[in-house]
Structure 1
Amino acid sequence: MKVRLTSLLLTIISLTAQGQQAPSPEERAKRLFDLSDRNRDDKLTREELPERLRPNFDRVDANKDGFISRAEHLAVMSRQTPSRPSPENARRPLLEGIEAKLDLPYADTENPRQRLDLYLPKLRKTDKPLPVVVFIHGGGWRNGDKATGANNVGRYVTSGEYAGVSIGYRLTGEARWPAQIHDCKAAIRWIKAHAQEYNLNPEKIGVWGSSAGGHLVSMLGTSGDVKELEGTLGKHLDQNSKVACVANYYGPENFLTMIRQPSQIDRTKGAEYPEALLLGGAVPEREETAREASPVTHVSAGDAPFFTAHGTEDPLVPFAQGEEVHEALKKAGVPSILQQMTHGGHGFRSELLDQRLKQFFDKYLRGIESEIDSSPITVETRQKK
């Protein structure tokens, strides 16, 4: 099975390298089904699935007939494997001056979600180990792709002063909490374990994420000393998952308070909203899990410095979430900046914000001391779904 899956991946890579269009997500899903269907009866038994996926069998077997049909397989794969930007569009800004090492497995599994992309400058401005900016994508923990992080870290890598990484992680269509933070921590440990190989500074790793990604980077920043959330993925358990600084863009910080705050999402009924899908049930019914999954729960002295950017008119994750983590960090004595984006919704653009974020990373990853202005920035909202 491993040989056949590797052959499929090599074929996809070869087609892309030759300028041909790589298989679509639907085509990849069909091929994966065919590879797993060993007896060619057009249905999958529990035994035909890779061992790591067998716990999901009953969920995928929608009609409970003891088999996974091709339709059931494709239905689940379409929810958890969104379309990936074409290689031309996803990588275009990075073609000049960047060496990209894509889809590196960090958890010692064959799961395509447990991969990271590493970006290195072709022309470094120093021979010393480079600090690393790590991006974690959003998407409500149920959508998104690490390919979208390429442009975000690219601006740092092209400077020759940083290396960049974009992390993929398991989505809620495949796994519930704490799988997502286990994946992210395993990726950080992988980076540290391979720091010497790529001439990176393992003590200068900054993490940056938006929305669900903002939540996960906030968890990395506050739970570096929480053994229970470390997980056991990968070969590098001798490494820790602590990070040097956190850039949190409009991430949820306290699930227990967020359900009581105004939002376009009705979190008082049912269990189909993003946080409920993450936690395995409605927040009031999963209170202990919700508390464990909330970054504010783990705030303590010695946590990584934070830069939180949040829109005052965010209709999905209320601005109060950014205020709450900022106040908790200040109370614990942790350096924290709350960048208010006046009129900003769930997503925004601002060159001034980009400049302040660069200043933040330079300060905590490159040791360039400066006073970072945190006065409000007025923006036009740009809704992210």
Structure 2
Amino acid sequence: MPLPFLLPPPVLFLMAAAVGAMFTLNALRPARKFWPLVGAGFFASWLTGELAAHHLFWQVVATALFVWAGGLDGWPGWVALLIVSLSWIGLVRIVFDARKARDVTESALREGLGTEYRSVIPEEIGAHVDDHFSLRQRLFPLPVLDGRVEVVRDIVFSRAGGVNLRLDVYRPRGNTKPRPTVLFVHGGAWVIGSKDDQGKPLAYRLAAHGWVVVSANYRLSPRFTFPDHLIDVKSAIRWIREHGKAYGADPSFLVITGGSAGGHLAALATLTPNDPRYQPGFEDVDTRVQACVPFYGVYDFTDRRGIWRGTLLRTILEKSVMKKRLDDDHAAFEAASPMSLVHEDAPPFFVVHGDRDSLVPVQEARLFVELLRAHSRAPVLYAELPGAQHAFEVFPSERTGHALAAVERFLAHQWAQHRREVAHAEGAEEKRPAGVLGEAADATSAA
């Protein structure tokens, strides 16, 4: 029985095929320079790139329905079939690109930590470091939940500028002992975003595997001005040092991570430990961290290599975040740039970025890693993920699963190293008094 359509089925089929193909093409080659298209292009590319299998499914189903309804009864329908077939090929390529994240991240770990890095990871924290998301979670990406995790929400950790700043604590359900801890800093171009809508795949994964994850808010521009954001991140570190133990955190081992603007703030907090300029009222608190894992971060406010051309980043920084022009106060922008603050005592870094990031060009991450490796004595790992867009790990996708598994392996390795160093230091302390007394006794006998 023919179905009533305002337009012939072949024409409707062609229109639908064109829309689907545009999503696929934009995921493969997202808009980067023409800023009016960048925003919409990013969302389309992001959704298609991380949910490529879902897009392939709906395109196949739609094609079958159009064929059943008579979509091939005219030449537009056959053109549509050709277009949609090419779209499917593109989506399959995106799926395979996502799977490459496993090998890319593993290569980064082996290069940075050594081929035998897994051998030092203890079973109690390393039993699940290769786990992927469940099939149910990959089929239905949202919401991200895990019954093994307990979340304590909306703890006020600071009050600044008339704002109560809150954080959430993700911890293993029923946990009874201090666990290695991760602080997550959300993104949003320093002007939007919150702890409630980012970082959940990472937080639930780590907490389910024995970690404590703290996700904190910070003051946002344009109401507030840099370095207010950084001060708030350091206030969250202070809270973990002073109160984290009551929530299952181990204040002696803290790693910081974040995405985009959160990646910038995480890197900046890591590279400015105990800097009194960013710790007003708590200058004596130790704000050092044991490692940093920035995702698709902004690492340079000065655009020293001309990477930003054609983007809105400079406008956002000058109008909303710094509230001054780069040309008028270059030193202030330098002080806000992780690239300008790399030093030999920086802790280990694992930098993760996508090669199709249309909001923060991948060249930014490459240069930051180059500078870190030239100055830092600690390992600097870099994983450039094929096909990954900005904010890729918001979804529990194929790519995200491989990337977060690698991040967990990195964190587990750092925690194992930390435990060995602590045990070595405690052993040295136990031996030192006897040694000192022995030396004193020998000196007395000689006299």
* Structure with the larger RCO, 1 or 2 (CA within 8 Å, 6+ apart): 2
CA distance in 2, matches of 1:186, 1:174: 19
Could you report, residue by residue, the CA deviation over 1:76-128 in whole angstroms, capped at 9, with x for unpaired residues? xxxxxxxxxxxxx999544623332211122245955621111221133xx54
Whether the 8 Å CA contact 1:91–1:150 is kept in 2: the answer is: no
Give the alignment of 1:331-342 within 5 angstroms: 331-332=374-375, 333-342=377-386
Whether the 8 Å CA contact 1:264–1:315 is kept in 2: the answer is: no
Whether the 8 Å CA contact 1:131–1:366 is kept in 2: the answer is: no
- Structure 1 residue corresponding to 2:297, chosen from 214, 236, 251: 251
Structure 2 residue aligned with 1:344 = 388
CA change 1:166–1:363 in 2 (3 A) is same
Structure 2 residue aligned with 1:154 = 204
Give the alignment of 1:1-385 within 5 angstroms: 93-94=144-145, 96-108=147-159, 111-112=162-163, 114-124=165-175, 128-148=177-197, 149-159=199-209, 161-232=210-281, 237-257=283-303, 260-266=306-312, 272-274=315-317, 276-332=319-375, 333-349=377-393, 350=399, 351-367=401-417
Whether the 8 Å CA contact 1:248–1:309 is kept in 2: the answer is: yes
CA distance in 2, matches of 1:353, 1:103: 28
Could you report, residue by residue, the CA deviation over 1:260-303 in whole angstroms, capped at 9, with x for unpaired residues? 21454156xxx742464211123223311110100122211221
Could you report, residue by residue, the CA deviation over 1:242-275 in whole angstroms, capped at 9, with x for unpaired residues? 11111111111111126721454156xxx74246
CA change 1:131–1:216 in 2 (3 A) is same
The alignment of Structure 1 onto Structure 2 pairs a total of residues equal to 272
**SS across alignment from 2:196:** helix
Could you report, residue by residue, the CA deviation over 1:321-357 in whole angstroms, capped at 9, with x for unpaired residues? 1112212221222311111123433233513212211
Q: Which has the higher helix share?
A: 2
The amino acid across from 2:196 in the alignment is: A
The amino acid across from 1:102 in the alignment is: R
The amino acid across from 1:178 in the alignment is: P
TM-score norm. by structure 1 comes to: 0.64
Indicate the percent of aligned positions where both proteins have the same amino acid. Answer: 25
Whether the 8 Å CA contact 1:142–1:274 is kept in 2: the answer is: no
CA distance in 1, matches of 2:324, 2:141: 35
Whether the 8 Å CA contact 1:176–1:279 is kept in 2: the answer is: yes
Whether the 8 Å CA contact 2:300–2:339 is kept in 1: the answer is: yes
CA distance in 2, matches of 1:354, 1:222: 23
Whether the 8 Å CA contact 1:131–1:204 is kept in 2: the answer is: yes
Q: What is the Cα deviation at residue 198 of structure 1?
A: 2.7
The amino acid across from 2:272 in the alignment is: S
CA distance in 2, matches of 1:275, 1:202: 36
CA distance in 2, matches of 1:227, 1:120: 31
Whether the 8 Å CA contact 1:207–1:247 is kept in 2: the answer is: yes
Structure 1: unaligned runs, 5 residues or longer = 1-88, 370-385
CA distance in 2, matches of 1:123, 1:247: 27
CA distance in 2, matches of 1:231, 1:163: 27
CA distance in 2, matches of 1:368, 1:304: 12
The amino acid across from 1:115 in the alignment is: R
The amino acid across from 1:316 in the alignment is: L
Q: What is the Cα deviation at residue 129 of structure 1?
A: 1.8
**SS across alignment from 1:145:** coil
Whether the 8 Å CA contact 2:299–2:365 is kept in 1: the answer is: yes
Q: What is the Cα deviation at residue 311 of structure 1?
A: 2.0
Could you report, residue by residue, the CA deviation over 1:39-85 in whole angstroms, capped at 9, with x for unpaired residues? xxxxxxxxxxxxxxxxxxxxxxxxxxxxxxxxxxxxxxxxxxxxxxx
Structure 2: unaligned runs, 5 residues or longer = 1-139, 394-398, 420-447
CA distance in 1, matches of 2:371, 2:178: 33
The amino acid across from 1:173 in the alignment is: P
Whether the 8 Å CA contact 2:274–2:285 is kept in 1: the answer is: no
CA change 1:99–1:144 in 2 (3 A) is same
CA distance in 2, matches of 1:357, 1:338: 11
Q: What is the Cα deviation at residue 139 of structure 1?
A: 0.5
CA change 1:201–1:288 in 2 (3 A) is same
CA distance in 2, matches of 1:365, 1:228: 29
RMSD: 2.7
Whether the 8 Å CA contact 2:274–2:284 is kept in 1: the answer is: no
TM-score norm. by structure 2 comes to: 0.56
